[in-house]
Amino acid sequence: MQVIIVKDKAEMGKTAAEIVAGGMRAKEHFVLGLATGTTPIPLYRELIRMHKEDGLDFSTTASFNLDEYVGIPGTHDQSYRFFMNRELFDHVNINKKATHVPDGMADDVEMFCAEYEAMIADCGGVDCQILGIGSNGHIGFNEPGTSLGSRTHRTALTESTIKDNSRLFEKVEDVPTEAITMGIGTILESESILLLANGANKAKAVADAIEGPITATCPASALQLHPNVTFILTEDAAADLKLEWHRG
């Protein structure tokens, strides 16, 4: 496990973008695992800059997003498909047909989840999975208590996640209560994983994930099992770590 501590969000985004772009340049048919939320936005801004100014090419890149709300269509401004189009896909030369976000409106959600796993496998698996972390330690929508071996599945959101996300909706009652998420087992099959965190509200979850026991009460702690995971943390998100980690 590698832990890189940086001074601010902008540096977090740049550091992550260097790693992602390095992977994309080294492998023609690169498969990105993508995340939504406020955390990866500096990364997406930097990738867009690299595309526009340095010619970073997305034309042969495919992507799979971690999760999507159940019950809202991709045209809804709070759907994760909408977010990805707005924050990244619309600004780079990625083939939209090669971008995958779980379908929150699927008639048969369980069947869709199995198909999503098959689509990832057909693309050869995810080369680099981007993750944020919830203040409760969740990754994707794998809330505390989720099996560490879980595959893509339908899940209920916890009260704490609904509350965290309610800032993005007019009323807390408007926040969807279910989602489709890649499972922890799915995430652990990625070739490499980059977890980004900023903000003091993530400090406890980050410390539990990196230095605590591997337990379903902190889903991100399962990343300790992965041979190629990098945490990119701002100083405030790293504040509860007890060991001395590298400062970037």
The site for ligand PGA (CB under 6 A) is made up of 37-39, 132-134
Query: What minimum distance in Å lies between the beta carbon of 29 and ligand PGA?
Result: 27
Establish whether 108 is a catalytic residue: no
Distance (Å, rounded) from C-alpha 221 to C-alpha 144? 11
What the block records as the tokens of 59 is 């034309």
Shortest CB 16 distance to ligand PGA, Å = 13
Q: Considering 103, 117, 143, 208, which one is annotated as catalytic?
A: 143
Do 128 and 30 contact (CB within 8 A), yes or no?
A: yes
Shortest Å distance, C-beta 188 to ligand PGA: 16
Beta-bridge partners for 65: 34
The minimum distance between CB 60 and ligand PGA, in angstroms, equals 28
The verdict on whether 136 is a catalytic residue reads yes
When the beta carbons of 102 and 132 are compared against ligand PGA, the nearer one is 132
d(CA 127, CA 63): 10
- Residue 201 CA from chain centroid, whole number: 18
Cα gap 99→224, rounded to integer Å: 28
Could you say which of 87, 100, 103, 136 is catalytic?
136
Residue 107 CB partners (closer than 8 Å, separation 6+): none
Among 100, 138, 153, 165, the active-site one is 138
Q: Which is nearer to ligand PGA, 132 or 183 (CB)?
A: 132
Helices (H) and strands (E) in the chain, counts: 7, 11
170's CB contacts (< 8 A; 6+ apart) are none
Torsion of CA 136, 141, 146, 149, to 10 degrees: -130
Nearer to ligand PGA, 23 or 132 (CB): 132
Catalytic hit among 51, 65, 67, 103: 67
Token readout for 148 is 């560490």
- Shortest distance, CB of residue 138 to ligand PGA, whole angstroms? 6
4 vs 157 by CB, closer to ligand PGA: 157
Catalytic-residue membership of 143: yes
100 is catalytic: no
Which distant-in-sequence residues (6+ apart) come within 8 Å of 38 by Cβ?
A: none
Enter the tokens of residue 208.
Answer: 């539990």
3-state secondary structure of 173: helix
* CB-nearer residue toward ligand PGA: 100 or 202: 202
CB-nearest residue to ligand PGA? 37
Question: Any idea which residues carry the catalytic annotation?
Answer: 67, 136, 138, 143
